[in-house]
A and B are shown apart, each in its own frame.
Chain A
């Protein structure tokens, strides 16, 4: 056993190339630009939950794409997503974060659009007609939008595979949870972190870090063999399911008991279950609440993470309060676990940014039980396929 000199430190690990990631994948600006074009611009990504646009003409703007977007529920009940950009001179069309508008008039020169994205009026239009610029050519840019189990997804590519084909049956275990009773978002917060987007995505696939959390160290779960038998399922297109199992927190009175009567449909009481969708969204549940994370790359080393908490629309005030407490215990901005997870992502990013670490290790194999790194290898296999280069050597010509 010894420490290593520079040559040894920077030498690629003696592992299959699928089992490590070159840290240039997190920090190189050229790779980042390619990720935007080859992954972000072509994959289906989560936009919001339908309940955020409950009524006809409700809109919701968001930043979690490389372009500003706005989701609008039409008079026909369908959710459509547009670039939140006025085609005239580029003004941000909807400047509020949410609201309701049957027609939207741009604040700048008062061009007006309907919920299908058509330009329906331009003040004093004659010079446009003289210039042969018809209203027909002034519509909004609509992006492909599809909904599954109330989850609204968009794709910046005009001709992607259908959402159902992209997701396959990866969300089927959440079908009851999301559809048996109306669900709504009760919590939303965001964090801009100094870390590459993949580092946050990884933290939701890396179950080997559970010792980091004081609240998990304080339970007996980490000493029970069964805890390590939870399964990782690898699905097509880079998606993953971490099958939950009932966790007995023992007599840790400080962990709030998940009351069986308040469970979301289809979930068991003390079960942590999580589904990372390629590339940047994770759904997870703990008996009574669902959380959805969305990670948006801003620069190679800054990312916007959005966190949603979901419960049942029909919750009584009392039930909702139980859900809120249980959400906040581990997942809120002032919870036990979330600040620890974000801390970890930022601390690793620091080393990767400086080039002090050359490789990240994802080589654990444990027959796809929970602390197997197979989930991360599956993610990077899809990443490598889409990027046309291995994550272990992403600068290879």
Chain B
């Protein structure tokens, strides 16, 4: 018996929490080997969909490894508020598709919080194994002005 909706809901909340805590290894351990992460947005200027970031597991590992050396201010935090809208069976057996609304709030080292991005997660979850795992995450952004940008996945 695979994971049910409640278990997947709990799993996705834990994924967001691991990212918020910058527990990158914990996050990676919740991803399947074939995991793909992408950040997308629709440009009304070009009337085109865009991909702003696309990584497999190796790409993400490298991103996290470089992160401590990337220029930025120590103490900058990102908090993802996730509200799960739907969890439905995918086309492949044992896979579930979860759609969530996400609001990412960035807090400066001085403690000033501001809305960084609003969008949706479209997740494909492997629900067949002993514990759920992420197979794919698309962060589909409504927000297209990200200030100076981010080195951290949203």
Q: Which residues of A contact B (CB under 8 A)?
A: 52, 60, 62, 96-99, 185-193, 212-215, 217-218, 254, 321, 324-325, 328, 332-336, 338-340, 342-344, 346
Contact = CB atoms under 8 A, between A and B. Distances in A.
Nearest to B152: A334
17 contacts: A96-B44, A185-B46, A189-B50, A189-B52, A189-B145, A191-B149, A193-B148, A213-B71, A214-B66, A214-B69, A217-B69, A218-B66, A328-B53, A332-B52, A333-B146, A336-B151, A339-B150
B54 interface: yes
Nearest to B69: A214
B138 to A, nearest CB: 14
Given A60-B45, A188-B50, A334-B52, 10 more contacts: A52-B45, A99-B47, A192-B145, A324-B54, A333-B146, A334-B150, A338-B149, A339-B148, A340-B70, A346-B148
B52 A328 contact: yes
Contact of B43 (A96, A188, A191, A338): A188
A390 to B, nearest CB: 31
Nearest to A62: B45
Contacts of B53: 328, 332, 334
Contacts of A332: 52-53, 149
A336 B44 contact: no
Contact of B45 (A98, A212, A254): A98
Contact of B150 (A188, A214, A328, A333): A333
B131 interface: no
Contacts, number: 98
A254 B69 CA distance: 15
Contacts of B151: 334, 336, 339
The interface residues of chain A, by DSSP majority, are classed as mixed
B72 interface: yes
Contacts of A346: 148
B66 A215 contact: yes
Nearest to A195: B148
A214 B148 CA distance: 17
Contacts of A190: 144-145
Given A215-B66, A342-B149, A189 B71 contact: no
B45 to A, nearest CB: 5
Given A97-B44, A188-B43, A324-B54, A336 B149 contact: no
Contacts of B51: 321, 324, 328
A336 B148 contact: no
A321 B50 CA distance: 11
Interface in B37-59: 39, 41, 43-48, 50-54
Nearest to B59: A254
B111 interface: no
A336 B71 CA distance: 9
Interface in B128-154: 144-151, 153-154
B52 A333 contact: yes
User: What are the 10 closest A-B residue pairs judged by CB atoms, nearest first?
Assistant: A342-B148, A339-B149, A333-B149, A340-B71, A214-B69, A97-B44, A334-B53, A333-B146, A254-B62, A188-B43
Contact of A328 (B54, B66, B145, B154): B54
A320 to B, nearest CB: 9
Contact of B148 (A97, A186, A191, A321): A191
Nearest to B49: A186
Contacts of A192: 145, 147
A212 B48 contact: no
A336 B69 CA distance: 10
Contacts of A254: 62, 66
A342 B149 CA distance: 8
A127 to B, nearest CB: 38
A336 B66 contact: yes
A214 B45 contact: no
